[in-house]
């Protein structure tokens, strides 16, 4: 399948934390962008911060991505699609509050691309390492061959009583599987291919509209509360992470690299524990959490890690360091007078 090195790209959920960076990175690299938002008010902030790009950025209103045909008009005339929109929170009562919009959202994008996206060459979907990892009592390195069956079992068995993280993770598993199943089933009907990116914790500066630290996306709000507000026990086990700007780069590289076709790709910088971020914040000269949980970083045990060989081979991924990410977060917060 031809790569997409120029042209117009549809980005879903463009007012979100990750998608806004994808929009910015595409514009910086010369693409035109059609950004979907739920309302005109959601577009206002993006129009302001990307005003320098003029008519290279346009908007499509998709009020409810769960509706059949929601993306029919949005996919027309674009060369590629970056499907980023998906619910991300851990306050669901019924698991279907997360699962239905996640699954139907991706299916409706793919259906519209099949039926109305004659010019579409590639679709890049944001999934998650939540669709890959399982929680175990011994350290484990996960690869793209792994699927999180554990959370599906929890949700199936316990329903509303399932662990909150299980509800979210199950939505990521089922949405990604729905995408791969759709491509397999409709292979003879589509003129585009699919690439899926699986990031872990996503951290870094925020360019979405946020009135205060508490109104940021979930991962950055947790980072703020733990690292700067001393709000949560730092002994909480860490995982792996990626800078949001590196994830945006991965989205663009996934359009440009022919060999990425049909691949599921883990994109992650490396492992962490909360103390690592606290230490990095202190280097920036700010008052960080005093809930120290000292450990030897070289000997620290990480129960969840990921093999990122494929990302390096297929995308040529390079990552910002934890310290660079922290420094940029701190500078962003200072500019907003949050610290």
pLDDT, residue 38, reads: 92
Select from 81, 91, 301, 251 the least CA-distant residue to 179.
81
- Give the CA count within 13 Å in the CB-facing half-sphere of 123: 29
To 10 degrees, what angle do helices 96-116 and 164-185 make? 20
- pLDDT by residue for the chain (339 residues), tens only, comes to 678 999 999 999 999 999 999 999 999 999 999 999 999 999 999 999 999 999 999 999 999 888 899 999 999 999 999 999 877 666 667 888 889 999 999 999 999 999 999 999 999 999 999 999 998 889 999 999 999 999 999 989 888 888 888 889 999 999 999 999 999 999 999 999 999 999 999 999 999 988 888 889 989 999 999 899 876 665 556 789 999 999 999 999 999 999 999 999 999 999 998 889 999 999 999 988 776 666 666 667 888 999 999 999 999 999 999 999 999 999 999 999 998
Instruction: Report the distance separating Cα 108 and Cα 313, nearest Å.
Output: 31
Query: If you ran DSSP here, which 8-state letter would residue 215 be given?
Result: G
Q: Kindly tell me the sign of the dihedral angle through the C-alpha atoms of 252, 255, 258, 263.
A: positive
pLDDT, residue 51, reads: 97
pLDDT, residue 287, reads: 85
SS3 302: coil
pLDDT, residue 165, reads: 83
Architecture of domain 8-205+241-269+305-319: 3-Layer(aba) Sandwich (3.40)
What does each C-alpha distance from 306 to 24, 145, 198, 309, 311 come to in angstroms? 27, 11, 10, 9, 11
Q: What is the residue extent of each domain of the chain?
A: 8-205+241-269+305-319
To 10 degrees, what angle do helices 274-283 and 322-335 make? 60
Backbone angles phi, psi at 206, to 5 degrees: -110, 130
pLDDT, residue 80, reads: 98
Instruction: Report the distance separating Cα 225 and Cα 100, nearest Å.
Output: 30
| Helix (H) or strand (E) segment spanning residue 310 | helix 309-310
**Strand locations in the chain (E):** 8-11, 32-37, 57-61, 80-83, 122-126, 140-142, 193-198, 201-203, 240-243, 264-266, 270-271, 304-306
């Amino acid at each position: 399948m031809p790569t997409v090195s120029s042209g117009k790209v549809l980005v879903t959920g463009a007012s979100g934390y990750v998608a806004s960076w994808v929009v910015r990175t595409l514009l910086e690299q010369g693409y035109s962008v059609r950004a979907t938002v739920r309302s005109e008010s959601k577009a206002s902030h993006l129009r302001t911060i990307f005003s320098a790009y003029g008519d290279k950025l346009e908007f499509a209103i998709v009020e409810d991505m769960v509706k059949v045909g929601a993306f029919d008009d949005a996919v027309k005339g674009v060369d590629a699609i970056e499907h980023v929109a998906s619910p991300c929170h851990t306050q669901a009562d019924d698991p279907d509050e997360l699962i239905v919009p996640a699954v139907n959202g991706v299916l409706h994008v793919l259906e519209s691309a099949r039926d109305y996206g004659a010019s579409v060459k590639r679709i890049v979907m944001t999934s998650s390492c939540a669709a890959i990892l399982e929680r175990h009592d011994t350290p484990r390195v996960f690869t793209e061959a792994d699927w999180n069956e554990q959370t599906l079992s929890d949700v199936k068995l316990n329903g509303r009583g399932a662990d909150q993280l299980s509800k979210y993770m199950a939505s990521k598993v089922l949405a990604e599987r729905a995408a791969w199943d759709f491509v397999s089933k409709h292979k003879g009907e589509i003129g585009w291919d699919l690439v899926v990116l699986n990031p872990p914790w996503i951290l870094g500066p925020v360019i979405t509209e946020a009135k205060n630290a508490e109104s940021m996306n979930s991962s950055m709000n947790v980072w703020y509360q733990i690292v700067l507000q001393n709000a949560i026990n730092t002994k909480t086990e860490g995982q792996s992470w990626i800078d949001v700007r590196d994830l945006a780069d991965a989205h663009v590289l996934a359009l440009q690299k022919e060999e990425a076709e049909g691949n599921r790709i883990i994109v992650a910088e490396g492992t962490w524990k909360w103390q690592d971020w606290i230490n990095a914040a202190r280097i920036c000269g700010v008052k960080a959490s005093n809930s120290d949980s000292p450990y030897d970083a070289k000997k620290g045990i990480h129960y969840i890690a990921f093999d990122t060989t494929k990302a390096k081979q297929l995308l040529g991924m390079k990552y910002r360091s934890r310290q660079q990410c922290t420094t940029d977060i701190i500078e962003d917060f200072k500019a907003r007078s949050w610290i």
